[in-house]
Structure 1
Amino acid sequence: MKSLLLLLVCALLCHVALAAVVPEAANVAASDLDKRSQRKSTNKAKQLVQAPSSSSSSASVLTSAEFNCIFPGLANGQQVYSALISSVKGKSLGTSRPEMAMFLGQVGHESNGLTATTEYCALSGSCLTSFDGPGWCGVKTPKGKHYYGRGYMQLSWACNYQAAGKAIGMDLLNNPDIVASSVSVSWQTSVWFWNVNNCGAGSYASATQKINGALECNGGPGASNQASRIAHYNTALKCMKLPNNRGPTRC
C-alpha cells in the first residue's frame, strides 16, 4: 500500500514539474518567432529603402534645385517639375542630361519660361483659326475646335493633336484645350513632339530647325527669336553645370 502511495505521489510531482516547464518552453519559442519576424521586417524595410524607385532614377537627369534655377518663381513649380520627371520616364530625355538641357531651352522659349501654355496670338484672336483644317493628314476636325499652339512646346495643327493624342492615349482632337490646362498633358505632348521629330539627336540649332525652322532659320522672318531660345538654353546649361557639347546653337 505504501509503495502504491509513493508511486502516486511521485507521478503527481512529475506532472506538476512538466506543467511548469512546458509554458516556459512555449514562451521561448514564441520569443524566437518574434525575433525572427522582427528581423524579417527589418530586412524588408532595408530593402525598401535601398531599392531605387523609377521616379528617383528619372529625377537624376534633372534635380528639383536645377529645375528651380532654370525656371525660378513658378507658383506651381514642384507640380510642374514632378510632371516633367514622370513624362520622361523610359525615354532618352529621362537619362541624358545634355538632351534635357536642350529640351528645357526650347520649351523655355516656346512657353515663356513655362508661364504660357496658350499661344499669345490665339488669346488676342489674331491666329485663333490659323491652324484649323484637315492638314497634311486629312483629318476630319470637330466643329468649333481650334488647333493653335498649346502646352509647353506649343503643339499646333490638328494632325499633331491627333497623333499626340493617340500616343498618350487621349482624344486631343475633340479636347484640344486640355493640352493647355493640364500640366501633365502639356509635358506629355511636348515630350511626344520632341521624340517623334528626333529633336535631341543633333545640335541645339538642328532642334530649332525641326521646331520652327521655316520661320527662324536661314534668316527667316522670325530669326530674332533665336536669341531667346539660346538664352534659355544657356540658362539650362549653367544651372545644370553642363558644357555645350552639342554643336552650334544658331541655325
Structure 2
Amino acid sequence: MDVKTLQRNLTLAGRPVTVDGVMGSQTMTALLKALYGRSAPAGRLDALGPALATLMRAEGIWTPLRIQHFLAQAAHETAGFLDMEERGGPSYFAKYDGRADLGNIRPGDGSRYHGRGIFQLTGRANYRSMGRTLGLPLEENPVLAADPVVSVRIAVAYWLARNINAKADADDLDGVTRKINGGLNGLADRRDRLAAIRKLWGAA
C-alpha cells in the first residue's frame, strides 16, 4: 500500500479510522512503515502492525486522536520503534538496584528488570503486576516484555489503566505525556512525532 492510498484510507472526521469499515493490520503496518521504515526493522513493524490494529481496536483506542497520540508516544519512547529495550549494560542498570519503589529487592534486579517494551516496563514490581494483569510470566521471564506482540499488550494495558484516552480525546499532548512519562521529558520530540503522523494522515 503506497502513501497516497494510505492517506485516502485515513480520516480525521472524528470517526474511527476505517478501511472498508475497519482499519486492518495491513493499513496499520503500512502507516508504521511509512513513518518509521527508516528507523525500525521491517520484520518488527510487520509484527507490530497486526498487534496494534487488533488490540487498539478491541480496547477502544480507536478514534483518530487516540491512535495518533498513542503512536506518537510509542514512537518517542522507542526512537521510532528502533529500541524495544532500554539501552545500557549491567553497570548502567545498577542504578535501579535497591529501588524499593520499583520492587527491586534482590541483587541484579536493576539489570534483570530494566526497561523493555513500547512504554519501557521497569522494575520487578511492575513486571509482576503487569504479568498478573495479562496472565503472563513476566516476573519469571522478563525478556518477554520486549517481544513486539507482548509489548503491545503491555502498552495497551498501561494506556487504559491510566485513562489516557481522556487526555487524547482532549488533544492534550502535555497531559498524555505526563501520563506516559510522569513529566514532560522529550515533549518537543513527542510533538514533532505527532505532527508527522498528522501530516501523513492528511491533517496538517
TM-score normalised to the size of structure 2? Answer: 0.73
Partner secondary structure for residue 166 of structure 2: coil
Q: Check the 8 A contact 2:29/2:48 in 1, yes or no.
A: no
Compared with structure 1, are the counterparts of its residues 169 and 116 closer, same or farther at alpha carbon in structure 2 (3 Å cutoff)? same
Equivalent residue, structure 2, for 1:110? 77
Compared with structure 1, are the counterparts of its residues 162 and 124 closer, same or farther at alpha carbon in structure 2 (3 Å cutoff)? closer
Shift in Å at residue 108 of structure 1? 0.3
After TM superposition, the structure 1 = structure 2 runs for residues 158-237 of structure 1, keeping only pairs within 5 Å, are 158-180=124-146, 182-202=147-167, 203-214=172-183, 216=184, 222=185, 225-237=186-198
Shift in Å at residue 189 of structure 1? 0.8
- Looking at structure 1, the residues matched to 55 and 154 of structure 2 have their Cα atoms a distance apart, in angstroms, of 9
What letter matches 1:196 in structure 2?
Answer: A
Shift in Å at residue 125 of structure 1? 3.4
What letter matches 1:177 in structure 2?
Answer: V
Q: Check the 8 A contact 2:114/2:121 in 1, yes or no.
A: yes
What letter matches 2:46 in structure 1?
Answer: Q
1:125 has 2:104 as partner? no
Aligned residues: 175
- Looking at structure 2, the residues matched to 142 and 59 of structure 1 have their Cα atoms a distance apart, in angstroms, of 44
- Looking at structure 1, the residues matched to 22 and 106 of structure 2 have their Cα atoms a distance apart, in angstroms, of 41
What letter matches 2:135 in structure 1?
Answer: G
Runs of 5+ in structure 2 lacking a partner? Answer: 1-20
Q: Check the 8 A contact 2:48/2:148 in 1, yes or no.
A: yes
| Counterpart pick for 2:116 among 130, 138, 150 | 150
Question: In angstroms, what is the RMSD of aligned CA positions?
Answer: 2.7
After TM superposition, the structure 1 = structure 2 runs for residues 62-101 of structure 1, keeping only pairs within 5 Å, are 63-73=28-38, 74-76=41-43, 77-93=45-61, 95-101=62-68
- Looking at structure 2, the residues matched to 124 and 171 of structure 1 have their Cα atoms a distance apart, in angstroms, of 22
- Looking at structure 1, the residues matched to 144 and 117 of structure 2 have their Cα atoms a distance apart, in angstroms, of 9
4+ long deviations beyond 3 Å: 122-125, 131-134, 139-145
Partner secondary structure for residue 126 of structure 1: helix
- Looking at structure 2, the residues matched to 132 and 147 of structure 1 have their Cα atoms a distance apart, in angstroms, of 12
Structure of higher CA gyration radius? 1
TM-score normalised to the size of structure 1? Answer: 0.61
- Looking at structure 2, the residues matched to 124 and 241 of structure 1 have their Cα atoms a distance apart, in angstroms, of 44
- Looking at structure 2, the residues matched to 238 and 173 of structure 1 have their Cα atoms a distance apart, in angstroms, of 40
Partner secondary structure for residue 164 of structure 2: coil
Shift in Å at residue 102 of structure 1? 0.1
Runs of 5+ in structure 1 lacking a partner? Answer: 1-55, 217-221, 244-251
Shift in Å at residue 156 of structure 1? 1.7
Equivalent residue, structure 2, for 1:249? none
